[in-house]
A and B are shown apart, each in its own frame.
Chain A
Amino acid sequence: MSEKGRLVVLGCERSAGEARRELEAQGHQLPAEVEWVSLPCGGAVDVLHLLQALESGAERVLVLACYTGACQSLEGERWAEKRVQAARGWLREIGLPEERLAFRAIAPNMAADLAAWLEEA
């Protein structure tokens, strides 16, 4: 396990999930420190989930949802990004580094980008 600590990824099944499957089909393994939580849509991310992930010992949390306009449920990525921003604000308030929470838009064909993000996150 790397020194970076546990990374929780909350990923939309329709975009991030597809990218992950593509990555695995190419023979890549997810890094050992990554805990992947599949969500039906970015809109299902609750601020509580983000805080629970940190509470459970995650060093960082990465939320992955579709690009604007690509969400099957229309605005899921907007909800997801807003909640990450809200939770980052709370971290700021209590003096924790807000960088521990991140949001990224992803498309199903972005397996290579996903691999890079998981390495660097």
Chain B
Amino acid sequence: MMTQPTGRTVLVLGATPEAQRAAQALQGLGYGVIPLQPDDLLGFEGQVGGFRAQVRAEGQPQSLAADAVMVAIGNDRSGGATDLPRSPRALTASQLRRQLEARPITGAALPYRQARYLLLLEPDGQTQKEPAVEMLYLARDLRARWRCEVTVLYHELLVDTMPLERLTRELRQGGVVFTRTGALSVALDDQGVTVTVAEGPLRGDYVVMAEAVRPHADAPALAALLQVRLGVDGYFQDVNIRQVRAGPSNRKGVYFAGRCHLDGDLATALADAEQVAASVDALLRAGPQPEPTRAEVDRSRCIRCLTCVRTCPHAAVEIVADETSTAAQVFALACWGCGACAGNCPVQAITLLGQSAPAWMQTAEVSR
């Protein structure tokens, strides 16, 4: 069945599996999709339903119109623990994965078979879902394909998502040993590797380290350009934990999808991308509507101090010149009606439409 085109366009930032899944989902819902690498975005302005992006396309600057934006730039890899000596017996998860997937099987892969593996699940001491799930899939494949002895060493291993819960149960039943450790030390020699934990030394042929993930290197610059927030952990921050819809940023019409805003494995990120596409659809389908409560500036009172522009958490206020004056303007579609601008305005030039107030809460005359 053909989906009726909505005539609306979404800018999808990133070249990740979740960006691709989001683009597919949006196209399936009838949206035009503009895929873009984050470093090709040069400028960004406007509001939901009418964003304008200055982009670099084939080396040339261009201006594009979009109704909404989805950030799906993923995360970055740190490449595993750096304090371990370089040795053929110390592998990162991706090095081992390459050996496991090598076709045809070469002589170089033979020593890795039927060996004893010690898997360090959390080299940085805390569970990160994506590398943890990847390591557990490695443990499964080492057992199933190469009949290896596998011990998973972990600090906390929070099995609070379906893939982790299912995998750990299956692996335990399949003979993989899980050992909880506190501080540990790794010693490598020609014959193998010794990981010493509180209970004593564990001997193996290879030690494999999960590769920790970290926020994408482009995240800070992109957040500044889009005027959206990063959390203290450096990942994009959803506007509020109580939001029913997935992925909204503090700027209406800008959404986050996948591993740039959540700690999850790839399957979780892909499911999230579909949910965020549904969020975008819910916003755009009937056309963006102004909130019942929203701020409005009395232009004759405004002293252009920029306080509201600075303090608006939703990038909804700008200084705008018309025929008669230059003053702050709140964009109705972008405003969430929180009143931060009104509370901050030093001359009480901003009122909240649709907000009832008792008689004593009158706007006082303020000298200018």
Interfacial residues, chain A to chain B (CB-CB below 8 A): 14, 35, 37-41, 43-46, 48-49, 52-53, 55-56, 69-76, 79, 83, 108
Which residues of B have CB within 8 Å of A49?
Answer: 361
Q: Judging by beta carbons under 8 Å apart, are B337 and A56 in contact? A: no
Cβ distance B3 to chain A, nearest Cβ, rounded Å: 32
Which residues of B have CB within 8 Å of A41?
Answer: 338-340
Cβ-neighbour of B338 out of A53, A56, A76, A83 (below 8 A): A76
- B contact residues, total (Cβ < 8 Å): 29
Enumerate B150-183 residues with CB–CB distance to A below 8 Å: none
Cβ distance A42 to chain B, nearest Cβ, rounded Å: 9
Q: Judging by beta carbons under 8 Å apart, are B343 and A43 in contact? A: yes
Cβ-neighbour of A48 out of B239, B311, B348 (below 8 A): B348
20 contacts between A and B (CB under 8 A): A35-B358, A37-B357, A40-B338, A41-B339, A43-B313, A44-B338, A44-B340, A46-B343, A48-B348, A49-B361, A56-B358, A71-B240, A72-B239, A72-B338, A73-B313, A73-B314, A73-B338, A74-B313, A79-B340, A108-B242
Q: Judging by beta carbons under 8 Å apart, are A43 and B340 in contact? A: yes
| SS class, residues of chain B in contact with chain A | loop
Which residues of B have CB within 8 Å of A79?
Answer: 311, 340, 343-344
Which residues of B have CB within 8 Å of A76?
Answer: 313, 338, 340
Q: Judging by beta carbons under 8 Å apart, are A40 and B337 in contact? A: yes
Which residues of B have CB within 8 Å of A73?
Answer: 250, 313-314, 336, 338, 340
Enumerate B236-283 residues with CB–CB distance to A below 8 Å: 239-243, 250
In the assembled complex, the Cα of A89 lies from the Cα of B178 at a distance in Å of 58
Q: Judging by beta carbons under 8 Å apart, are A75 and B360 in contact? A: no
Is the C-beta of B99 less than 8 angstroms from some C-beta in chain A?
no
Nearest opposing residue in chain B for A36, CB measure: B358
In the assembled complex, the Cα of A44 lies from the Cα of B361 at a distance in Å of 12
In the assembled complex, the Cα of A70 lies from the Cα of B237 at a distance in Å of 12
Which residues of B have CB within 8 Å of A52?
Answer: 360-362, 364
Q: Judging by beta carbons under 8 Å apart, are B242 and A70 in contact? A: yes
Q: Judging by beta carbons under 8 Å apart, are B358 and A39 in contact? A: no
Question: A-B pairs with the 6 shortest C-beta distances?
Answer: A44-B339, A56-B360, A43-B340, A73-B338, A41-B338, A72-B240
Q: Judging by beta carbons under 8 Å apart, are A37 and B343 in contact? A: no
Cβ distance A5 to chain B, nearest Cβ, rounded Å: 15
Which residues of B have CB within 8 Å of A37?
Answer: 357-358, 361
